[in-house]
Amino acid sequence: MKPLDLEAVEAFLLVADLRSFTRAADALNSTQSVVSQKLKRLEERIGHRLIERTPRMVRLSPKGEIFLRAARSLLEAHDEALSILSRKRTTLKVGLSHHIVGPDLPVVLRHFHRADPGMLVELRIASSRDVEADFDRGTLDAALVLRHDDSRRDGDTLHAEPFGWMAAPDWVWHDGEPLCIATQAAPCRIRAMAIGALQASGVPWVEVFVGGGIAALAAAAQAGLAVAPLARRIAPLGTEDIGPRFGLPSLPSRDVVLYSATTDTQVRAGLRTLIGAFRQGSVAVTK
């Protein structure tokens, strides 16, 4: 099928919007006769009259009214295709606490990429402490971290992240034995939270695995080596919260907080999209 002449489509839109062949010709830096010829070719290609013209007025025909929206979409897509490669490439630098990066991350990133395919995303995943430090140094546009205390009250609270004691379903803990736990090395604040809860409840414990990241703790829990204090939404497949079954102390939730200082319009728009997708993903996983 022969494609439409985009210049003719543009001429049609100008005539439709300005209701005048003369003004359309001026906008195109052309002549009225050339605009008329372009419109005639377009009507012949489509097989329908699009413009009704009288000595006193110019108006769209019924078929022209139907074609108008499609014509606008066609030219908008054409302009977008031409401009996307010439845009200044914008970078969004975001830091995430590894305690909130769950199985929904691919969905979040896919949604974000569809919204702005031209934006470069630099993603750093680390502890909340390290992400906050990077943000304060100005190396990040935004940071998503866990709030552990009241020492810092700035930022926007997105939601509360519940934690649990994650282990393999067949995990066995015998009476009189210390609870085998997997943690990250100090000064991890989740480690401190978990040990504080055990000590306050008088539960004996022993560290049997120290991991350098959430993936390592998840693997230890899956393998049946220990119980790992993890956010429920990032708990790996093959694990469950065994706290209620064994009467372990409840772990408090932690607020997920957004820090952002960027003023770039495109970066802020990209950040809003990313946070929106993150929130949707979080809800989907926790349901």
Q: Which residues form the domain of 229?
A: 163-252
Answer yes or no: do 273 and 153 share one domain: yes
Answer yes or no: do 190 and 222 share one domain: yes
Residue 283 binned pLDDT confidence (cut-offs 50, 70, 90): very low
Candidate ranges 73-77, 154-158, 186-190, 251-255; pick with highest mean pLDDT: 251-255
- Of the listed ranges 70-74, 219-223, 275-279, the least confidently predicted one is 275-279
Cβ pair 160, 255 in contact under 8 A = yes
Whether 220 maps to a domain, the answer reads yes
Write down the pLDDT at residue 280. 54
Whether 1 maps to a domain, the answer reads no
Is the pLDDT at 74 greater than 80, yes or no?
yes
**What is the average per-residue pLDDT within 269-280?**
69
Provide CB contacts within 8 A for 38, sequence distance 6+. Answer: 5, 7, 8, 11, 12
Answer yes or no: do 133 and 238 share one domain: no
Write down the pLDDT at residue 260. 87
* % of the chain with per-residue pLDDT over 70: 90
Supply angle C-alpha 262, 266, 269, rounded to 5: 80
Nearest by Cα to 261 from 143, 157, 90: 143
Answer yes or no: do 79 and 192 share one domain: no
265 or 61, which is more confident? Answer: 61
Answer yes or no: do 179 and 242 share one domain: yes
CA-CA-CA-CA dihedral for 154, 155, 159, 165, to nearest 10: -70
Write down the pLDDT at residue 284. 41
Is the pLDDT at 1 greater than 70, yes or no?
no
pLDDT digits (tens, 9 = 90+) for 115-172: 677 778 888 998 898 999 999 999 998 898 998 877 777 788 888 889 999 999 999 9
Distance of CA 108 to the CA centre of its chain: 4
Answer yes or no: do 259 and 152 share one domain: yes
Whether 40 maps to a domain, the answer reads yes
pLDDT digits (tens, 9 = 90+) for 161-184: 899 999 999 999 988 899 999 998
- Of the listed ranges 26-30, 53-57, 106-110, 260-264, the least confidently predicted one is 106-110
Answer yes or no: do 142 and 280 share one domain: yes
What integer best gives the mean pLDDT of the chain?
84
Whether 209 maps to a domain, the answer reads yes
Whether 157 maps to a domain, the answer reads yes
Write down the pLDDT at residue 264. 75
**What is the average per-residue pLDDT within 70-99?**
79
Q: Which residues pair with 146 in a beta bridge?
A: 256
**What is the average per-residue pLDDT within 36-45?**
91
Q: Which of 83, 112, 133 is the last residue of a domain?
A: 83
Answer yes or no: do 67 and 186 share one domain: no
Answer yes or no: do 174 and 242 share one domain: yes
Cβ pair 147, 157 in contact under 8 A = yes
Answer yes or no: do 18 and 43 share one domain: yes
**What is the average per-residue pLDDT within 252-271?**
82
* % of the chain with per-residue pLDDT over 90: 37
Write down the pLDDT at residue 248. 95
Write down the pLDDT at residue 85. 61
Number of domains in the chain: 3
Write down the pLDDT at residue 278. 65
Answer yes or no: do 106 and 155 share one domain: yes
**What is the average per-residue pLDDT within 262-280?**
72
- What is the domain-level CATH number for residue 155? 3.40.190.10
